[in-house]
């Protein structure tokens, strides 16, 4: 029997997470959005829409994991998007769309004592910017040292 993410689990996600996952996983809307008393009743996606796009294969590709359980993969996808949102809101990623190309899950370390999984995230663009900033800082420091030497 094919595993399916329940529509209610989808609707219980924060709207930012739903929006990013819907965009990255190409989850189409087949109905209108329904909001009642400040609560989202439907974001326009049906159970059928979710079933078409949220598959084990698509989630494995999105998360980079080879887990066969759709619910575990869905949790990994949510963790990935939460981290993307954190990076964006803390200005670690600037003026870049939050996409799966920005973030790669490198590995998962399992802490045997606590049985907790820590996701180590690698942001390619952030690392490249850091290298440029480090080079710029080094050049400025060299310039400052030479200026200071001439002032003495």
pLDDT in tens, 12-22: 999 999 999 99
pLDDT in tens, 99-117: 555 554 443 333 444 433 3
Mean pLDDT by 10 residues, the chain (152 residues): 89 93 95 88 94 95 93 95 86 58 45 39 49 53 52 48
73: number of Cβ within 10 Å: 25
For the chain, the structural domain boundaries read 7-151
Distance, CA of 120 to CA of 137 (rounded, Å): 27
Quote the pTM value.
0.59
């Amino acid at each position: 029997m094919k595993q399916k993410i329940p529509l209610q689990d989808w609707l219980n996600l924060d709207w930012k997470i739903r929006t990013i996952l819907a965009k990255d996983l190409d989850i189409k809307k087949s109905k209108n959005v329904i909001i009642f008393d400040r609560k989202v009743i439907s974001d326009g996606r049906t159970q059928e829409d979710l079933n078409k796009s949220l598959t084990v294969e698509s989630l494995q590709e999105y998360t980079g994991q080879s887990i066969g359980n759709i619910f575990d993969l869905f949790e990994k996808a949510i963790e990935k998007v939460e981290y993307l949102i954190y990076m964006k809101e803390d200005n670690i990623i600037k003026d870049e769309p939050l996409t799966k190309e920005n973030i790669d899950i490198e590995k998962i370390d399992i802490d045997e004592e606590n049985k907790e999984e820590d996701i180590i995230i690698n942001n390619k663009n952030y690392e490249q910017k850091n290298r440029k900033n480090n080079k710029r800082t080094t050049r400025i420091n060299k310039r400052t040292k030479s200026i200071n030497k001439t002032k003495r």
